[in-house]
Structure 1
Amino acid sequence: MEKTVKIYNESFSEVLTDIPGLRFLDFDEEGVEVVTNSQEMKGRDGVGLLGPASFGSYTLILRFFYRGQDVKDYNLLKKRLRSLIFRRDPYYVVHSDMPGIKYSCYASENAITDIGDRFGSFEISFTVYKGYSESLLNTSQFSLDKADKWQVEGGHLADSSIKYKHTDSRFRIYNGSDDAINPTLGYEMMIKINADAPNGFKLVNNTTGDVFEYKKAIKKNSQIIIDGVHPIINKQRVGKDTNWGWINLEKDFNDIEITGKNLGSTTVEFIFNFVYR
């Protein structure tokens, strides 16, 4: 199978390996930077208070081989690559060795490093600024016939019960990430809710204990979107009409429930990317 590298965002798309003579060899992900949230206390050994760790950016290295005509040809290639990878806005990198994953990147300073003389092997370094990679697709694009596009251990994606849009009041949401999806940490998740709820409703993750409550009446033709931690109706934030709660997703399966007095029909959809450390 031909090995490929693609970079893209909303305004452009380029396949680097479409350049004649350029071949993608392999990749490497450097170690993750762990940032501990701790505070020492006088009179106690070690760390007195230890909070959850966060994760810094890391480096993605892609190695290539180029066979050109001469040194001039090689220098022209590097100039072209610099114009492609150095951009004002960040972009995604996708490569064929991990085809179900995308990296939010910008090219590192002095990104192109010569390994051989004149022409031959070289590597390009990218800073993965989010500190994690993501599934190429989000859950709104999930179907069993696309299961091979999701790089998940354990084989759960072959489970025919996995879906992300539900009309039942109780259902399960599968998070195939390496980590919990916590919107307060910057992970993107959108929950779309249509409910016939004359007395409001509660959306509960029984796995994590999280509760989101909307306290006003709402009809099913009016959609509420929980965008991260912000509830929105008709492009207006409506946090004042809620309990100021939000929903997290633990790794693996999460048991979700929507309840409310005289609650009628409902449709709930979870849209997010899996994240990988």
Structure 2
Amino acid sequence: MKIPKKARWVLILNKNNEKELTSLSGLYFLEAEQEDLNYRALVQTSEINDGEVPISNFFDPFTLKLLFYFKGRDEKDLNLLVQELRQELAIRNSYYVVHSDLPMFKYPCNQASFEIERINNSDAKISISFRVFKGYKESLPNTLSAQLIDNNWGFGMGLEMQDLSYTHETKSFDIFNAGLEIDPRLQHTLKIAFSGIVTNKLTIYNQTTDDSFIYNGNLKKNNILLLDGVYPLVDGARCGKNTNNGIVRLAKGNNSIKIEGANDFKISFAFHFLYR
């Protein structure tokens, strides 16, 4: 992703391309506002007990509002700008929004609505409200990106002042998660890639969360075992029948990982930090 050189900017990222909204002639980004926390509380109640028993909270979608100023030459310019914004944002697929106020985060969005406050025939304030459908924002770089350790990106992400590594070749190591808990069962992206020699059984054990993923079988050095969220694959083919159907979560902060049953291996953890 190419960051604009101007001081204030807004980018739209999707699978096919990226678009800088502030590259549209006469459009200036003023400010961003994220609405208050929005979540659902799962509770258990009983007719014979007081109150309720909290079980878990789930994050609901929230709104990211971006305010722009448009300075045009005439009313036609303003109408053309609104049409172009709709063309960019009223699309079938979801996309990410990134803005210069918090450039280390990206917001997964799937809807946008407009409010236009005309100043005169050519100028207007334009408010765009994006629906952040996942209920959280993500770190822009993932854990295997060189940008993660760049101070310009790491500021505000909760990264500790330490050497962070997400690729390892030893049987015991730590994985640092700066954001919310990563739980693949909640469709959080976590890709654990392993290549190495396994002669009987491989165990990936997170001592912090007490989660274990076990692969039963042999692996050669050139095989790639990928735990893609809840789906295990060997060289691209599903292999769930050879596993314990386990998952690996990542708690906030340090996670102590142990590898058992493997030699001459490399393992990597690729994910984005999640934030409210």
TM value normalised by structure 1: 0.92
Task: Report the alpha carbon displacement of residue 165 of structure 1 after superposing the two structures with TM.
Answer: 0.5
2:24 paired residue number? 19
The root-mean-square deviation of aligned C-alpha atoms, in Å, is 1.6
Aligned mate of 1:57, from 52, 55, 61: 61
Distance 1:143 1:66, change over 3 A: closer
1:159 paired residue number? 162
Deviation per CA, 1:112-150: give whole Å up to 9, x if none: 112343423221010001111111111111367534223
Q: Following the alignment from structure 1 to structure 2, what is the Cα–Cα distance between the partners of residues 222 and 80? A: 48
> Do the aligned partners of 1:137 and 1:150 also contact (CA within 8 Å) in 2?
no
> Do the aligned partners of 1:136 and 1:150 also contact (CA within 8 Å) in 2?
no
Task: Report the alpha carbon displacement of residue 220 of structure 1 after superposing the two structures with TM.
Answer: 2.0
2:181 paired residue number? 180
Asked if 1:127 is matched to 2:126, the reply is: no
Q: Following the alignment from structure 2 to structure 1, what is the Cα–Cα distance between the partners of residues 65 and 181? A: 26
2:273 paired residue number? 274
Aligned mate of 2:34, from 29, 33, 46: 29
2:3 paired residue number? none
> Do the aligned partners of 1:6 and 1:95 also contact (CA within 8 Å) in 2?
yes
Q: Following the alignment from structure 2 to structure 1, what is the Cα–Cα distance between the partners of residues 199 and 151? A: 39
> Do the aligned partners of 1:8 and 1:92 also contact (CA within 8 Å) in 2?
yes
- 5 Å-filtered alignment, 1:57-76, equals 57-76=61-80
Task: Report the alpha carbon displacement of residue 62 of structure 1 after superposing the two structures with TM.
Answer: 0.4
Task: Report the alpha carbon displacement of residue 236 of structure 1 after superposing the two structures with TM.
Answer: 1.7
Aligned mate of 2:85, from 64, 81, 84: 81
Task: Report the alpha carbon displacement of residue 155 of structure 1 after superposing the two structures with TM.
Answer: 4.6
Which has the larger strand fraction?
2
Q: Following the alignment from structure 1 to structure 2, what is the Cα–Cα distance between the partners of residues 255 and 67? A: 54
Alignment-mate amino acid for residue 67 of structure 2: R
Deviation per CA, 1:71-126: give whole Å up to 9, x if none: 23212211221111111111111111111111111233xx1112343423221010
Q: Following the alignment from structure 1 to structure 2, what is the Cα–Cα distance between the partners of residues 30 and 105? A: 14
The runs of 5 or more residues in structure 1 that have no matched partner are: none
Q: Following the alignment from structure 1 to structure 2, what is the Cα–Cα distance between the partners of residues 152 and 222? A: 38
Asked if 1:243 is matched to 2:244, the reply is: yes
Task: Report the alpha carbon displacement of residue 258 of structure 1 after superposing the two structures with TM.
Answer: 0.1
Alignment-mate amino acid for residue 164 of structure 1: Y
Task: Report the alpha carbon displacement of residue 40 of structure 1 after superposing the two structures with TM.
Answer: 2.1
2:171 paired residue number? 169
Asked if 1:149 is matched to 2:153, the reply is: yes
Q: Following the alignment from structure 1 to structure 2, what is the Cα–Cα distance between the partners of residues 219 and 184? A: 29
> Do the aligned partners of 1:23 and 1:64 also contact (CA within 8 Å) in 2?
yes
Q: Secondary structure at the match of 2:56?
A: strand
- What is the percentage of aligned positions where both structures have the same residue? 35
> Do the aligned partners of 2:141 and 2:148 also contact (CA within 8 Å) in 1?
no
Q: Following the alignment from structure 1 to structure 2, what is the Cα–Cα distance between the partners of residues 239 and 273? A: 25
Task: Report the alpha carbon displacement of residue 3 of structure 1 after superposing the two structures with TM.
Answer: 0.5
The runs of 5 or more residues in structure 2 that have no matched partner are: 1-5
Deviation per CA, 1:213-244: give whole Å up to 9, x if none: 11212222111100001111122221111111
Q: Secondary structure at the match of 2:173?
A: strand
Task: Report the alpha carbon displacement of residue 31 of structure 1 after superposing the two structures with TM.
Answer: 1.7
> Do the aligned partners of 2:142 and 2:148 also contact (CA within 8 Å) in 1?
no
Task: Report the alpha carbon displacement of residue 151 of structure 1 after superposing the two structures with TM.
Answer: 4.4
TM value normalised by structure 2: 0.92
Alignment-mate amino acid for residue 250 of structure 1: A
Q: Secondary structure at the match of 1:264?
A: strand
